Amino acid sequence: MSNQRRTTQQSPSPLSPFQDNNVLTEDQWITLASIVDTIISPETQSIGEITKEAQFKSAVDAIKHHAAVEDEALLSEYLAESATSCPGFREAIHRFLVEQVDSGGKKELLGVLDALTNSRTSWLLTGHLTPFAQLTLRQRERVIQSWATARLQVFRVLFRSFTDMAKAYWTRTSPTLGRVLSYPYTPINHNYGPGFDFPFIVFPPLPYGSTLVPATFETDVLIIGSGCTGSVAASVLARSGLEVLVAEKGYHWKPNHLPMTEKEGMAHLFANGGVTLSDTGKMAILAGSCFGGGGTVNWSASLQLQPFVRQEFARKHDLPYFESSAFQHDMDAVCETMGVGTSGIKHNPGNQILLDGAKKLSMKAKPVPQNTAGEAHACGYCTLGCGSCGKKGPTESWLPDAARHGAKFVEGFQCEKIIFADDKTTKGNKIAIGAQGIWTSRDENSGVSGQVYRRPITVYARRAVVTAAGALGGTALLLQRSGIQNPHLGKHLKLHPVNTLFGVFDKDIMPWEGGILTSVVDEYENINSTGYGCKLEGVSMLPGMALPLMQWKSGLEWKVHAAKFKRMAGWISLARDKGEGEVYADPTDKYRVRVKYDTAKSDQKNIAVGLVALAKIAFVEGAREIHVGVAGVPPFIRRQSVKTYTSAIDASQTGENNGVAAGINDPSFLQWLSRLELFTVNGLPADASQCSAHQMGTARMGSSPTNSVVNSRGAVWNTRGLYVADTSVLPAASGVNPMITGMAVARGIARSIVEDLGLPPTQEAPKSKL
């Protein structure tokens, strides 16, 4: 198929019709609206009680300066905008409550809203006998501000929950923010790639009134999951001559739909409508859930597993494969297929700042190899899908190769359970013979927003069943629903917790442009030779993803802060976590994953080491403001007189040796930095929240059923014909973006399946092409 690019109008990807289900009573909505309209507040000069004249003028001047907006009407509209005045905001909040919040969290939230609606109980939360919605705007603002620093944790949780909600959904629905920032919600004049025409199986609807008989399908190998790992397994197994069916819960979106807007993309491309929250609400987890899985929404980073981690996997967990030449060959092979390299990289300002600052401070740093076949890929929107097909993820490499070798595909398949034969092996092992689930069609327009129909499906697999449904419960919960009993199933969850740091500069950065993650500082990846530490990397800088990570202080301050976004660069401190968590099924919904995870103190300290380093990099590169994503830490604001030098000696050579131009040795900066440095000793504050885009370990590999779920070949203990081939099997955190590690392991497991079935070795897959 031709690789020719074409420019065309982007196709819409509307959401399915929203079913309110009366999740909120009218009184509850009025109270919730009063909360979010305090956080994203209407600010006008004409209402004296709301904003003093001097404050308002200062805000207007700051927005004009940072956003270069001279349109007075736009400025007034932006400042006067409240959260609920934004078209789509109320629907977004209701979708969030219905589709994303688990039953326990929803009950707690509604209870708080009821308490704030009642005069007697409102007093306990606000100090006022008047219901919250009847307070003045400034009274409401002071209440919310008081929650942030309250002694009791319940108030701090309320502050985080409501401010995060308001910031996220205002940023994605505001009709003015994009205009203030000159931010296009999808790329302008985007070159769409041709894509690949996948042969999806479609099951016809049953005649009206028919008995709901499952449709059946037979294949040699069933692979559940189409992401980075499932796609590699599909290619290897199809190349061996096996009939392969890849079944995916999500849907395939052709290039002309990508990248989506943040509103559409979070719903269509990610698990749980965008974000899965841990039970405490302190960990926000991003996981792909679409055809191509995480490979459709990741940031192209293609780092191989470090030698010291390979050694730990091999020796501590008795898995010699990870120190073998076979594993190295598996990593090299997956990189070769996707054209992984650094030759096409053109760093955007944020990634260049990371490299330049690290060099000035003698920190070890390097470009991050990209899976872009050696071509430049300046797409800051790629976390919402790659319309150019420049990112050679599953849908541009492994899945097309599998299709060319006869593989077939099903989308919209929610797998309920794996089915086993009535008989067992002579050793008493259960024999996997397929899977059952519910298939949901597309609508009449080949989308998912119209009328659809559902059918129960049974897939029979003659040779093997492979689950690659993901470490965020996809695989673990499926195995549990299928009757697999193992004390390690769902346990040992690793998340690579991250905290963020943002710099505001004196020039436009346009952070949504260019490659997302093309540089890394790995100076601190192996602190004190423990095997644990942190990496410093770039982060997706789309407003709806990055702005909600920043702290809220007041409604007016937030509007000013958001308007600075075009001059911001952002980075993450990512820890290789020694601590671990657990996934389990929601008691009211067997398909909804719940997460128990609290970042271990040692991992918090390592994250803090990275934040200190990032602050130094931002400062030495001239950041005017430095904002840390840790609750309670104020931003650093550089005085106009402070210039950037790395030492007092550098300053003296300019004739400005007055202690003000001493670079990272500037007294005001060091005083501010000392607060961050305390976290490297004591750990982060109790209310510090983290994010994660990497999930590993919930069906880990090991040497026996007493320490693992699968053996070194990926086979589930005490079964035959059942394998796990995703990052669930990693015995500990990888410490690098896990795509290459996961793909390599999946390739190794797929080779083992071929060998177990008595087939000759599979030929190598060619370099990525459509």
pLDDT in tens, 405-420: 999 999 999 999 999 9
**488-530 tens-digit pLDDT:** 999 999 999 999 999 999 999 999 999 999 999 999 999 999 9
Q: What is the pLDDT of residue 589?
A: 95
For the cut 70, the answer to whether the pLDDT of residue 2 exceeds it is no
Structure tokens at 33: 């609206």
Please report which confidence band the pLDDT of residue 18 belongs to, taking 50, 70 and 90 as the band edges: confident
pLDDT given at position 677:
98
| Predicted pLDDT at 649 | 37
Nearest to 286 by CA among 92, 511, 497, 581: 497
Residue 472 pLDDT more than 60? Answer: yes
In the beta sheet, which residues pair with residue 724? 467
Residue 290 — very low, low, confident or very high, per pLDDT cuts 50/70/90?
Answer: very high
Q: Which of 15-19, 89-93, 99-103 has the highest mean pLDDT?
A: 89-93
pLDDT band for position 695 (cuts 50, 70, 90): very high
Residues 6+ positions from 2 with CB-CB distance below 8 Å = 194, 770
Residue-by-residue DSSP string for 616-680: HHHHHTT-SEEEESSTT-PPEE--TT----SSHHHHHTTT-TTTTS-GGG-HHHHHHHHHHHHHH
pLDDT at 640: 79
pLDDT at 766: 66
Q: What is the DSSP string of 292-333?
A: TTHHHHS--B-PPPPHHHHHHHHHHTT-GGGGSHHHHHHHHH
Confidence of residue 770 (pLDDT cuts 50, 70, 90): very low
Residue 659 reports pLDDT greater than 90: no
Query: pLDDT category, 425, cuts 50, 70, 90?
Result: confident
Q: Structure tokens of 237?
A: 């197994």
Find out whether the peptide bond into 259 is cis, omega within 30 degrees of 0. yes
- pLDDT score, position 743: 99
- Percent of residues, the chain, with pLDDT higher than 90: 87
Q: What is the pLDDT of residue 426?
A: 81
Distances (CA, A) of 470 to 260, 491, 669, 698, 701: 23, 14, 43, 9, 14
Q: Which of these ranges, 9-13, 466-470, 514-518, 571-575, has the smallest mean pLDDT?
A: 9-13
CB 383 within 8 A of CB 545: yes
HSE-CB of 318 using CA atoms within 13 angstroms:
9
Per-residue pLDDT at 634:
97
pLDDT digits (tens, 9 = 90+) for 431-469: 999 999 999 999 999 999 999 999 999 999 999 999 999
Contact predicate 585/727, CB 8 Å? no
Q: Is residue 770 a contact partner of residue 194, using CB atoms and an 8 Å limit? A: yes
Q: Which pLDDT score, from 0 to 100, does residue 150 have?
A: 95
Q: What is the mean pLDDT of the chain?
A: 94
Q: What average pLDDT does range 50-78 have in this prediction?
A: 90
Distance from chain centroid for Cα 512: 16
The pLDDT assigned to 484 comes to 98
- Least confident stretch, 99-103, 216-220, 399-403, 491-495: 99-103
Q: If you average pLDDT over each of 94-103, 657-666, 746-755, which comes out highest?
A: 746-755
| C-alpha to C-alpha distance for 716 and 489, rounded to whole angstroms | 11
Q: pLDDT tens for residues 36-58?
A: 999 999 998 765 555 578 888 99
3-state SS string over 669-702?
HHHHHHHHHHHHHHCCCCCCCEEECCCECCCCEC
pLDDT band (50, 70, 90) for residue 340: very high
Is-contact 673 612, C-beta < 8 A?
yes
Instruction: Give the pairing type, strands 498-504 and 568-575.
Output: antiparallel
Q: Catalytic site residue 694?
A: yes
What is the pLDDT averaged over residues 91-109? 92
pLDDT > 70: percent of the chain: 94
Q: Residues near 582 by Cβ (< 8 Å), separated by ≥ 6?
A: 490, 491, 493, 595, 596, 597, 698
pLDDT at 5 over 80: no
Average pLDDT score over residue span 246-269 = 97
**In the prediction, which pLDDT does 55 show?**
87
Q: Are 635 and 503 in contact (CB under 8 A)?
A: no
Q: Is 82 in contact with 101 (CB distance < 8 Å)?
A: no
The mean pLDDT of 2-19, rounded to a whole number, is: 70
Residue 612 parent element (H or E): helix 601-620
**Whether pLDDT at 655 is above 80:** no
Tokens describing residue 673: 């930095």
pLDDT value at residue 767 = 64
Read off the pLDDT band of 7 (50, 70, 90): very low
- Four-point Cα dihedral 127, 128, 132, 137, nearest 10: -90
551 has pLDDT over 50: yes
Task: Give the pTM.
Answer: 0.95
Rounded mean pLDDT, 602-611: 99
